[in-house]
Amino acid sequence: METLVSKGKITDVLVFDHVLSEEDFMCVYRHLCFSSKWSFGSHSQRPDVGEDNQQIIRLNSYSGIRSHYDPFVTPFWRMELSEEKFFNTYLMDKIRKLVQHDFEIEMIYANGQTYGQSGSFHQDHHEGHTFLLYSNSHWDVEWGGNTVFMDEDNVLKYIPPIPNRAVYFPGTILHYAESPTRRYSGLRMTVAFKLFKKKS
């Protein structure tokens, strides 16, 4: 089995605070809180599989289909957002302006994690970028839930899920999301935009 190797530097991981207006951010938060579209069973890609198996796991992860008996992964919550205009058009216009590049959208979805539902180190894709928006209205540092990055030099970076913060990074960098601690009984929520840069 091939082990995934991180590609990129920690300096490639960009953090933006106060990404959206308060009104827009609360629209995201309310949408995630009150939607009935959450499904259980998504997961991070395992870092110890070959390319063929990796593709299978990636497809299963994207569709929300998986076995709950796999001891190597912890399932968590997911909501598909790719077809929703507020996300794929309105918010995407803001993301394009923020990072100053145009994109093709691969997919947009929300992740949700409760205590014990940590991810595992994985890569998102080999060519694209991810724009990850932390979507809880409040977060206490004691609640954990950091996103952990490890670059090609084995340098680690821990980013707390501060509300209305976003992280923009190449899909080749290994990363995972920590679960909340026992001190937080709710759902740690993020919205992930999986993007490919348009060629000039």
CATH number at residue 107: 2.60.120.620
pLDDT, residue 45, reads 52
Which tokens sit at 49? 């599989």
Domain-located, residue 3: no
> Does the residue 63 lie in any domain?
yes
Answer yes or no: is 129 within a domain.
Answer: yes
Query: Are residues 178 and 17 in contact, defined by beta-carbon separation less than 8 angstroms?
Result: no
- From CA 180, how far away is CA 125, in angstroms rounded? 25
Residue 74: what pLDDT?
Answer: 75
- Considering the domain boundaries, does residue 33 fall inside one? yes
Q: Does residue 144 sit within a domain? A: yes
Asked whether the beta carbons of 175 and 150 are under 8 A apart, the reply is yes
Instruction: Note whether residue 187 is domain-resident.
Output: yes
Structure confidence by residue, pLDDT tens digits, 43-98:
665 434 444 444 433 333 433 434 344 555 678 899 999 999 999 999 999 999 99
* Domain that includes residue 161, residue range: 10-197
> Which regions of the chain are under pLDDT 50?
1, 46-69
- Compute the distance between CA of residue 37 and CA of residue 172 in angstroms, rounded to an integer: 29
**What does the block give as tokens for 111?**
């992740």
pLDDT of residue 28: 98
**Total structural domains in the chain?**
1
What pLDDT sits at residue 1?
A: 42
